Amino acid sequence: MTAPGALAQGFEPGGTPGSFDFYVLALSWSPTYCDGPGARREAEGQCRPGRGLGFVVHGLWPQYNRGYPSNCSSVVRAPTRQAIEVAGQVYPSEGLARHEWRSHGTCSGLDPVAYFQAARDARAAVTIPDAFKGLERDTRMAPIEVARQFVAANRGLRPDMMSVTCRAGQLQEVRICFAKDLRGFTPCPEVARQNCRTGEVAIDAAR
């Protein structure tokens, strides 16, 4: 997975590590990812038949109020085995974790272990609504209803603190904005404007 083009409008290559305004936790709907080109890359990982994955962590992204930094170090510190073990508790594949560290973790101002721990903490702070757990049949839902489900399941979360994105009529991601210290959700107008504008999205069952 790579950072979707919807956020690329304010993309800033480089940037000062640790200098950003808030985080976005991107949760991808795995069946949509595995219906696309990613299926070949992740045939033995995230997209292996029988894994039954629903929402998975795509990444924890440092964000500016307008735009976002990426690849903030010319000399990337490779994650240690300890860091990869922490990442394994969060990301669906090691390859994705390494990519996310290079692209986004280097902008966090944290070392690899601390960055993956931050991603783990952010994911632990989000409750996945029951409607998306163990989904056995393909279904359809309005993006605004997806958002309502997340707001209802997560105390303190509001629609202006998140977005629901789609790709080719399918649910793609739920992106939730966190304060820089990860101690709560935060408003993020630029992210909220990226909401999918279609009437309904297809939500394929986990396989």
Cα torsion 41, 39, 76, 3: sign: positive
Which residue is it, tokens 């990301």? Answer: 91
Element (H, E) at 121: helix 112-124
If DSSP codes are grouped into helix, strand and coil, which group holds residue 192? helix
Four-point Cα dihedral 96, 19, 174, 181, nearest 10:
100
Catalytic residues: 58, 100, 104
Distance from C-alpha of 14 to C-alpha of 33, rounded to nearest angstrom: 27
Which residue is it, tokens 């992204």? Answer: 61
Structural tokens at position 35: 């219906």
C-alpha separations of 132 from 53, 125, 205 in Å: 10, 17, 9
